[in-house]
Amino acid sequence: MIVDNGGDPPPAGSAGRRIAMAAAEGVDRLITRLCRFIVLVTGIALTVLLAGNVVARYVLASGGIDAAQELPELLFPWFIVAGISLAAQAGGHLGVDWFYDRLGPRGRVWLLHLVNAILIVSYLILFWQSLLLAENTWVQVSPVLKIPTSQGYLAVALGCLLLALAAACSSVRIVMTGPERRFTLSYKETGP
């Protein structure tokens, strides 16, 4: 159980602190590795497909490869969702710190917890709604490859789940170490 100490981190030797931090860091590492893998694989695939299709337009009489025109539409949501999740872990989102900067240490902690709670609830609702949309569109398939178009909604669902988990991990870090360490990645570390 995490207890509020008025913005102060719990004592350094507590077992609960170590377990909570280890869990938060483990989840964050998993999110980072998964998202970096998705960005790397889809980024390479998008580059190869788009470049290959440009070459094929000039070489082939058909004017290109039909599948190469369809695959980027299917891969792009996964690429974007993974990038957004990495950016959230680094604090690379739009934010206005005017109010945050005017609060004391205790107020900052409470504000960050409130924001994270709103994010978690919102992203979990979006996660669930994306799954429902994916289920409803499962029968719609792409014209050439016959891949269900619902996979785009599954990408959004995964992204919302990862963002909710990242916000929860951020709240754990805020309680354990203070608001200065709420992000796990620096901007330099967001790349693959």
What confidence tens digit (pLDDT) does each residue in 156-176 have?
999 999 999 999 998 998 888
Main-chain phi, psi angles of 151, to 5 degrees: -65, -25
Candidates 64, 40, 35, 63; CA nearest to 50 is 64
Quick check: 190 pLDDT over 50?
no
Structure tokens at 78: 């996964």
More confident residue, 154 or 15: 154
Residue 98 is predicted with a pLDDT of 73
Whether pLDDT at 39 is above 90: yes
Where is pLDDT greater, at 13 or 111?
111
Q: By CB neighbour count within 10 A (0-12 exposed, 13-18 middle, 19+ buried), where does 64 fall?
A: middle
pLDDT of 132 reads: 95
Task: Kindly state the tokens that stand for 13.
Answer: 């030797």
Distance from C-alpha of 46 to C-alpha of 156, rounded to nearest angstrom: 18
Which residue has better confidence, 186 or 184? 184
